[in-house]
């Protein structure tokens, strides 16, 4: 059984004491590919080092997280622009909008999001969208930027069936992670309604560990729990879930 973790911060300092062991556990669990979203320039070095030390297993993306959009966000974007000119990455992000924590840089978040969406079009790479408390607004930006070539994923999707359909209408995928296993999340009913065609799996490690590890540090090996939950929901073998979601991830992130 081969799984792809489409969103995992395995370069986080949360893993500084056991990163090699954690990545071996991922391989042992069948997680053969891990896509790493960028946060900001404070962690780009850690991410690129992790990719260098784990070729073919850990793959870098490049972008600016909406929670890292501050006064100096244009400088951050300039750094990303330079990286994108220097080498290839597997996606742009994570970007998007976060209206949960702090709205003081709301306008700047929009500017940064649209700039990164334009890079996704320019470099023909998938856009990885963070949409906490901003799903409708992120869908609107995608709709505005969509010229028929913009592709990507709404990572850690936890919206409604209606929102999921709007995302899929734009040709985007839904990143499904540990929240699916939470008792009262309601996400199980949403995915049952929309099917598997546009789903990819993710952990968002070290955050959002699935049941039975909820509240603990998350890691890619736990992706199996998400696949098992989908298998239960769709009453299909977990191997089949793995095959479908892995094929989806390979298509989206151009991994074939």
State residue 37's pLDDT score: 99
Say what the pTM is.
Answer: 0.98
For range 221-225, the mean pLDDT? 99
The pLDDT tens digits for 93-109 are 999 999 998 899 999 99
Share of the chain above pLDDT 90, in %: 99
Mean pLDDT for all residues in the chain: 98
Q: How far apart are CA 56 and CA 40, in angstroms?
A: 23
Q: How far apart are CA 145 and CA 171, in angstroms?
A: 12
Q: In what order do the strands lie in the sheet with 3-5?
A: 3-5, 31-36, 58-60
The pLDDT tens digits for 144-171 are 999 999 999 999 999 999 999 999 999 9
State residue 78's pLDDT score: 99
- Relative to beta strand 58-60, strand 31-36 is parallel
Query: 122 with 87: CB under 8 angstroms?
Result: no
What are the structural domains, with CATH classification, of the chain? Answer: 3-252 (3.20.20.140)
The pLDDT tens digits for 121-132 are 999 999 999 999
Q: What is the DSSP string of 8-61?
A: --TTSGGGTTTHHHHHHHHHHTTEEEEEE----HHHHHHHHHHHHHSTTTEEE-
């Amino acid at each position: 059984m081969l799984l792809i973790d489409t969103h995992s911060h395995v370069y986080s300092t949360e893993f500084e004491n056991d990163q090699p062991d954690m990545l071996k556990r991922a391989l042992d669990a069948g997680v053969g590919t891990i896509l790493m979203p960028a946060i900001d320039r404070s962690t780009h070095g850690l991410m690129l080092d992790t990719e260098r030390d784990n070729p073919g297993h850990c793959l870098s993306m490049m972008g600016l997280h909406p929670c890292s959009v501050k006064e100096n966000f244009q400088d951050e974007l300039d750094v990303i622009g330079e990286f994108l000119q220097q080498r290839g990455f597997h996606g742009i992000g994570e970007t998007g909008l976060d209206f949960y924590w702090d709205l003081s840089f709301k306008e700047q978040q929009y500017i940064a999001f649209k700039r990164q969406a334009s890079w996704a079009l320019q470099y023909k790479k998938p856009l990885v969208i963070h949409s906490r408390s901003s799903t409708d607004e992120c869908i609107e930006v995608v709709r505005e930027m969509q010229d028929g070539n913009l592709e990507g994923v709404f990572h850690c999707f936890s919206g409604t069936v209606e929102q999921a359909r709007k995302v899929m209408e734009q040709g985007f995928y839904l990143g499904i992670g540990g929240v699916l296993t939470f008792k009262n999340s309601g996400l199980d009913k949403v995915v049952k309604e929309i099917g598997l065609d546009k789903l990819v799996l993710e952990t968002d490690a070290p955050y959002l560990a699935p049941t039975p590890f909820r509240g603990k540090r998350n890691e890619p090996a736990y992706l199996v729990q998400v696949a098992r939950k989908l298998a239960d929901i769709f009453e299909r073998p977990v191997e089949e879930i793995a095959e479908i979601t892995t094929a989806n991830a390979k298509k989206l992130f151009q991994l074939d």
